[in-house]
């Protein structure tokens, strides 16, 4: 389907169903409210057909370019209809599970995920394996008909709402680095899984510390090959940095436009205000332009790779520049005010501080650009 | 928009332009060589794309060819030639370089080296909120020395008071705003060409230069400076390329501002990585760095354009969604 026709049809449908799709709560809402409404929006999109485009027929999708998925998320975020964070997990995990899981497993498990009936989470990081992901130690040992998983994960987002988890485990010798890692699809309600939430500095329980104690995972839940988990993790990366970024860019655009309207309404026409807005806008446009190019490369069947580190750095700068402008131009709102709008500015301002940390820190991205794109040789 | 030129033809043209610019350091000779290679036809057939490859070559070679005169004159709907030059806005400005004061027109702007050999100059002036276009005898603007930080470059400042009877008003064909946009996109490509050359020099130096027993490229502080430069260049490049498909003047201003920021930051980082040798006149770096300072000031700078862009957004109460999938 032609992306422009698709967008027009989608916009008309969103206009017609605005009342049903708008959040029932004021302001940001609680996490429970957000997740419930997110599920409602996802299901409505799926049942109308819009949410099935861009997914292959093997998982009950309607086919078509992944650009269509980027457009759906963009429109939802521009209208502020659903929180993008849980949605992110679909765009990050589902394409790779479709590529690497056994076809019958993907066909059975992925549809309820992309319909919003259930959520999944991602178990990659560990207390001693953050940026250095290849050093994970959470183990899986062969048992009768499957694997026994024991160890600890951290920063597992939304596990309290999740049905399944894409887990990276050590199946090789302790020193086997990226060669001895395997990916498994684990049911969160399996005996032996326990978690404790971690409260973030913006007052939410976005993620948790998770313990796996002799958790049984059947053979059929292997994603990719035994000891082929690094390839699975690397396959996820480009998805994380294409569709998901485009969605988040749309959210940043909406918040930037909110800021412009608020500054315009205040009557502030100083050069300081104009400059801060102009700089935030140009960071955002640089990101969106780069990300647009990336979406088209992905839709054209090209293999995305390390060059997406540039997209990551650009969206991080766009987010930091935007919320720096928010704090600078809305005098004292972030620090003192307590109305709903101020609380949302404060939450978003504080959350922007995570942008240079999650998904590979800003420093790791620069290391990758230096080594792989500038070919500067090894670091000392 | 005109048919886009085939990619293979573009690559050939780009190579030809770069070779001609490298061989003809004198601005007048370089202009002639580019006209001989079909620059005028290219600008007519594919204005944005043609300017993109020519200005990218200008940046990479640091040539002082006066192609900006052609880009602006063409966007104003005029027949371009080596006998025609243009008065550009004053440094950091995008408003016309002249305003009417009674019986005279007061000029404060920039001209390229072509002013010395041209017969006619195009002069835009502002009066009562509208832009008028006129031509004047180029001799009225001649004789200013090519001084400043970049005497080898094409641009110099010109201030003059021209009597009203020396001015021939002309019917506006293209609008001033579209001429500004065309200049900004072309100059963005030039700045990115300058930036890529400076980054390549710094990268090679970092790999070759050994201190404490290892290449300085192995130090993270240096790697990150070079990585940041590349990220800014690629972000700005994407926007500048996006202008090929979208003639929005706001996008053109963003492209110029981002390219200026990328080139200025790259100049700073590259000079730091080059260290001592980058501060000397022996190394070529200073030529590109000084040209970057000059080109940044033309048609709005990385310092001034964000203010213009922000004011435009404030006047609209919202931010337009510029980049579409």
| Euclidean distance between CA atoms A193 and A175, whole angstroms | 25
Q: Which domain holds residue B22?
A: 7-170
Cβ neighbours of A71 in B, within 8 Å: 325
Tokens standing for residue B323:
């980049």
Same domain membership, residue B243 and residue B279: yes
Closest chain A residue by Cα to residue B251:
A285
CB contact under 8 A, A374 and B317: no
CB contact under 8 A, A363 and B224: yes
Closest chain B residue by Cα to residue A273:
B310
Same domain membership, residue B186 and residue B304: yes
Strands A207-218 and A162-170 come out as unpaired
Same domain membership, residue B135 and residue B238: no
Q: Domains, chain A, ranges and CATH?
A: 3-118 (1.10.540.10), 121-227 (2.40.110.10), 241-373 (1.20.140.10)
Q: Which of B10, B26, B43, B56 is nearest to B187 (CA)?
A: B56
pLDDT of residue A112: 98
CB A151 within 8 A of CB A126: yes
Axis crossing angle, helix B67-75 with helix B47-61, rounded to the nearest 10: 160
The number of CA neighbours under 13 Å toward the Cβ of A159 is 27
Q: Determine the average pLDDT of the residues in A113-142.
A: 96
Tell me how close the Cα of A116 comes to any Cα of chain B, in angstroms: 25
Q: How many CB atoms lie within 10 A of CB A141?
A: 12
Q: Which are the contacts of A235, defined by CB distance < 8 A and separation ≥ 6? A: A96, A99, A100
Which of B214, B226, B234 lies closest to A290 in CB terms?
B234
Catalytic residues of A: 240
CB contact under 8 A, B230 and A310: yes
State which of B126, B151, B170 marks the end of a domain: B170
pLDDT of residue B50: 95
What residues form DSSP beta bridges with A169? A182
Which residue, among A278, A300, A314, A319, would best test binding to B if mutated, counting the most B CBs under 10 Å from its CB? A278
Same domain membership, residue B275 and residue B308: yes
CB contact under 8 A, B235 and A287: yes
Tokens standing for residue A145:
């008909």
Tell me how close the Cα of A64 comes to any Cα of chain B, in angstroms: 15
Tell me how close the Cα of A241 comes to any Cα of chain B, in angstroms: 15
The answer to whether residue B321 sits within a structural domain is no
Q: Determine the average pLDDT of the residues in A284-305.
A: 95
Averaged pLDDT score across all residues of chain A: 96
Same domain membership, residue B158 and residue B204: no
Same domain membership, residue B200 and residue B85: no
Is the ipTM here above 0.85? Answer: yes
Same domain membership, residue B159 and residue B25: yes
The answer to whether residue B118 sits within a structural domain is yes
Strands A181-187 and A162-170 come out as antiparallel
Q: Determine the average pLDDT of the residues in A177-186.
A: 97
The CA–CA distances, whole Å, from A327 to A323, A362, B250 equal 6, 22, 25
**Number of A:B CB contacts under 8 A?**
152
Q: Determine the average pLDDT of the residues in A340-346.
A: 95
Domain count, chain B: 2
Checking if the pLDDT of A343 tops 70, the result is yes
Same domain membership, residue B221 and residue B113: no
> What CATH number did the domain enclosing B205 receive?
1.20.140.10
CB contact under 8 A, A314 and B231: yes
The answer to whether residue B117 sits within a structural domain is yes
Which of A257, A365, A376 lies closest to B206 in CB terms?
A376
- Tokens 């509208």 appear where? B130
3-state helix, strand, coil in chain B (%, to 5): 55, 15, 30
The answer to whether residue B109 sits within a structural domain is yes
Same domain membership, residue B16 and residue B157: yes
**Angle B75-B48-B17 from CA coordinates, rounded to 5°:** 110
Q: Determine the average pLDDT of the residues in A125-136.
A: 94
Q: What is the mean pLDDT of each run of 10 residues along chain B (325 residues)?
A: 65 92 89 95 94 96 96 95 97 95 90 95 89 93 83 90 90 85 98 98 98 97 98 98 95 98 98 97 97 98 98 97 92
CB A222 within 8 A of CB A184: yes
Same domain membership, residue B312 and residue B185: yes
Q: Determine the average pLDDT of the residues in A332-341.
A: 95
Tokens standing for residue A190:
């399996």
Tokens standing for residue A69:
């998925």
Same domain membership, residue B233 and residue B123: no
CB contact under 8 A, B313 and A260: yes
Closest chain A residue by Cα to residue B324:
A292
Least confident of A82-86, A111-115, A168-172, A349-353: A82-86
CB A280 within 8 A of CB A322: yes
| Euclidean distance between CA atoms A179 and B70, whole angstroms | 59
Closest chain B residue by Cα to residue A292:
B325
The answer to whether residue B81 sits within a structural domain is yes
| Euclidean distance between CA atoms A266 and B19, whole angstroms | 55
Cβ neighbours of B220 in A, within 8 Å: 367, 379
pLDDT of residue B4: 60
DSSP state string for B206-266: HHH-EETTEEGGGSHHHHHHHHHHHHHHHHHHHHHHHTTT---HHHHHHHHHHHHHHHHHH
CB contact under 8 A, A261 and B318: yes
Same domain membership, residue B157 and residue B213: no
Q: How many CB atoms lie within 10 A of CB B249?
A: 18
| Euclidean distance between CA atoms A162 and A118, whole angstroms | 7
Percentage with pLDDT > 70 across chain A? 100
| Rg of the Cα atoms in chain A | 21
């Amino acid at each position: 389907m032609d992306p422009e026709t698709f967008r027009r049809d989608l916009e008309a449908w969103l206009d017609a169903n605005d009342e049903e799709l708008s959040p029932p709560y004021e302001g940001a809402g609680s996490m429970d409210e957000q997740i419930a409404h997110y599920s409602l929006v996802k299901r409505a999109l799926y049942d109308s057909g819009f949410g099935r485009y861009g997914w292959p027929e093997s998982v009950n999708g309607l086919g078509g370019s992944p650009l269509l998925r980027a457009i759906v998320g963009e429109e939802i975020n521009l209208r502020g209809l659903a929180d993008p964070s849980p949605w992110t997990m679909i765009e990050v995990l589902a394409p790779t599970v479709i590529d690497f899981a056994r076809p019958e497993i993907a066909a059975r498990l992925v549809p309820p995920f992309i319909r919003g009936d259930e959520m999944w989470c991602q178990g990659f990081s560990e207390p001693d394996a953050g940026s250095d992901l290849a050093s994970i130690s959470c183990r899986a040992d062969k048992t009768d008909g499957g694997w026994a998983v024991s160890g600890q994960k951290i920063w597992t987002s939304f596990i309290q709402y999740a049905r399944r988890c894409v887990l990276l485990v050590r199946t090789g010798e302790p020193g086997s680095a990226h060669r001895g890692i395997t990916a498994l699809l684990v049911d969160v309600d399996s005996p032996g899984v326990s978690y404790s939430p971690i409260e973030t500095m913006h007052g939410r329980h976005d993620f948790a510390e998770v313990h796996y104690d002799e958790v049984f995972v059947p053979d059929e839940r292997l994603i990719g090959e035994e000891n082929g988990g690094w390839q699975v993790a690397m396959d996820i990366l480009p998805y994380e940095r294409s569709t998901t970024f485009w969605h988040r860019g749309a959210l940043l655009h909406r918040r930037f436009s909110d800021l412009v309207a608020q500054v315009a309404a205040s009557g502030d026409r100083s050069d300081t205000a104009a400059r801060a807005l102009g700089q935030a806008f140009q960071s955002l446009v640089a990101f969106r332009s780069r990300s647009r190019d990336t979406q088209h490369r992905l839709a054209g069947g090209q293999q995305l790779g390390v060059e997406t580190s540039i997209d990551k750095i650009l969206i991080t700068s766009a987010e930091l520049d935007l919320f720096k402008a928010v704090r600078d131009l809305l005098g004292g709102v972030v620090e003192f005010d307590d109305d709903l709008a101020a609380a949302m500015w404060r939450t978003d301002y504080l959350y922007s501080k995570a942008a240079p940390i999650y998904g590979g820190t800003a420093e790791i991205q620069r290391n990758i650009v230096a080594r792989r794109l500038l070919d500067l040789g090894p670091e000392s | 928009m005109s048919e886009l030129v085939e990619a293979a033809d573009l690559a050939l043209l780009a190579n030809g332009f770069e070779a001609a610019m490298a061989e003809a350091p004198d601005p007048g000779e370089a202009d002639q060589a580019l006209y001989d290679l079909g620059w005028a036809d290219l600008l007519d057939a594919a204005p944005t794309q043609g300017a993109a490859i020519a200005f990218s070559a200008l940046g990479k070679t640091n040539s002082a060819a006066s192609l900006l005169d052609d880009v602006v004159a063409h966007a104003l709907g005029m027949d371009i030639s080596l006998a025609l030059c243009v008065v550009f806005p004053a440094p950091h400005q995008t408003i016309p370089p002249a305003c009417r004061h009674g019986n005279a027109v007061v000029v404060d702007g920039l001209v390229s080296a072509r002013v010395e050999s041209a017969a006619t100059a195009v002069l835009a002036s502002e009066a009562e909120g509208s832009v008028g276009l006129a031509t004047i005898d180029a001799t009225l603007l001649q004789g200013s020395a090519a001084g400043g930080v970049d005497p080898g470059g094409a641009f110099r400042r010109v201030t003059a008071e021209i009597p009203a009877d020396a001015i021939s008003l002309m019917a506006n064909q293209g609008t001033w705003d579209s001429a500004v946009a065309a200049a900004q996109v072309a100059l963005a490509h030039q700045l990115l060409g300058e930036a890529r050359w400076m980054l390549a020099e710094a990268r090679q130096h970092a790999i070759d230069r050994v201190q404490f027993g290892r290449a300085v490229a192995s130090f993270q502080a240096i790697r990150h400076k070079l990585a940041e430069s590349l990220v800014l260049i690629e972000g700005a490049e994407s926007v500048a390329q996006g202008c090929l498909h979208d003639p929005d003047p706001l996008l053109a201003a963003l492209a110029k501002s981002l390219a200026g920021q990328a080139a200025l930051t790259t100049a700073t980082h590259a000079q730091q990585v080059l260290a001592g040798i980058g501060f000397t006149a022996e190394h070529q770096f200073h030529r590109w760095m000084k040209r970057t300072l000059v080109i940044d000031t033309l048609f709005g700078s990385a310092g001034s354009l964000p203010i213009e862009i922000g004011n435009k957004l404030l006047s609209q109460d919202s931010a337009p969604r510029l980049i579409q999938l």
